[in-house]
Amino acid sequence: MTQRLVIAIDGPSGSGKSSTARGVATRLGLGYLDTGAMYRAVTCAFVDAGVAPSDTAGVIAATVGAQLEISTDPADQWVRVNGVDVTERIRSQEISSVVSAVSTVAECRADLVARQRAIIDAAPSGIVAEGRDITTVVAPDAHLRVLLTADPEVRMARRKQDLGGEVDAAALADQVLRRDRDDSKLVNFTTAADGVVHLDGTYLTLEQTINTVIDLVGRND
Q: What is the DSSP string of 89-119?
A: GGGSHHHHTTTHHHHT-HHHHHHHHHHHHHH
* C-alpha pair distances (Å), 113 with each of 26, 35, 165, 191, 208: 24, 9, 32, 20, 30
pTM for the full predicted model: 0.88
221 residues of the chain, pLDDT tens digit each? 457 899 999 998 888 999 999 999 999 999 999 999 999 999 999 999 999 999 999 999 999 999 999 999 999 999 999 999 999 999 888 998 899 999 999 999 999 999 999 999 999 999 999 999 999 999 999 999 999 998 888 888 877 776 655 667 677 776 677 777 777 767 777 788 899 999 999 999 999 999 999 999 988 76
State the pLDDT at residue 133: 94
- CA-nearest of 144, 164, 159 to 212 is 144
State the pLDDT at residue 3: 72
State the pLDDT at residue 181: 75
State the pLDDT at residue 165: 57
State the pLDDT at residue 102: 96
User: Cα(150)–Cα(212) distance, rounded to whole angstroms?
Assistant: 15
* C-alpha pair distances (Å), 127 with each of 3, 138, 146: 11, 13, 14
State the pLDDT at residue 167: 67
* C-alpha pair distances (Å), 144 with each of 4, 122, 190, 207: 12, 18, 17, 18
State the pLDDT at residue 1: 45
In 3-state terms, the chain is what percent helix, strand and coil (to 5)?
50, 15, 35
Contact residues for 97 (Cβ-Cβ < 8 A; gap 6+): 171, 174
Strands 5-10 and 68-70 turn out to be: unpaired
